[in-house]
Amino acid sequence: MNLELVLITGMSGSGKSVALHALEDAGYYCVDNLPPELLSPFIALQQQQQATKVAIAMDVRSGVSLPLVPQQLEALRQQGVSLRSLFLDATTDALVRRYSETRRRHPLSRQEGRTDMPEQQRVLMQAIELERELLADLRDGADVVDTSIIRPPQLQSYVKALISAPDSALTLVFESFAFKRGVPLDADYVFDVRMLPNPHYVPALRALTGRDTPVIEWLREHEDVARMYGDIEQFLQRWLDALARDHRSYVTVAIGCTGGQHRSVFLVEQLARGFGERWAALKRHRELDGA
């Protein structure tokens, strides 16, 4: 049996430890902050011991050896290792807030002191942007998870769902969100459906969601909703085969409305059901899942 390797990288403070704990719960042998120089010999040792599931976290603390990682990953793939790479990201504002709340020091910041002071926040933001530059190559080759406004249990569920999806074919992730809380960083495609009829203005539907039958029936009565579904479906049908040929593991399609409760949720549910007949399809509801 081939070794399954999950590599977790990402921004400091983005939740890599939470993701690693989720994989440990899923039966993976987990190692945190493994130096890139030790990746190949470590995997060779695991293969000798007939390990089947291994998860490794790497971050910017590895410093100058990070550029070695993409080449090492390609070599492991050539050896038959089943590899999945996850990159955890978050907005700069979210990362600054987390550091301010925990009083932790960023690994690239040499300045001590309270991170909630203006000068320390400026230094922290500079460290975060430098980290983005250093990790850019790892992000490009990975499946990105935006942790900006999700809670640890929600992140654990996301990671487990991604890892449990079949790795032999393209996996589609349909995600609903509210524009008022920002566009997800992990979105490959974003569709704005705020121009569609809004159940929020129907008193009997306001407290419900796009998963509830009365909302579903109400939205199905509107021609514009069906036209939007058809346009998104046609776009994806045209390009998914090309994305699969490009060796993409995951494609995240984000559907946004004003509150992330009705229209975007309805369309995500319908799209995941429709495309799930051919592709591996996951669904997320950022605002509902985090409620």
12 is in an annotated binding site: yes
53 is in an annotated binding site: no
16 is in an annotated binding site: yes
| Cβ neighbours of 116 (radius 10 Å) | 14
Cβ-contact 104, 13 below 8 angstroms? yes
Residues with Cβ < 8 Å from 64, sequence gap 6 or more? Answer: none
164 is in an annotated binding site: no
Start-to-end Cα distance in the chain: 40
Helix or strand or coil: residue 195?
Answer: coil
HSE (CB half, 13 Å, CA atoms) of 50? 1
Based on DSSP, count helices (H) and strands (E) in the chain, helices before strands: 11, 9
259 is in an annotated binding site: no
263 is in an annotated binding site: no
13 is in an annotated binding site: yes
40 is in an annotated binding site: no
Angle at 124 between CA 123 and CA 130, to 5 degrees: 90
61 is in an annotated binding site: yes
Annotated binding site for ATP: 10-17
Annotated binding site for GTP: 59-62
Annotated binding site: 10-17, 59-62
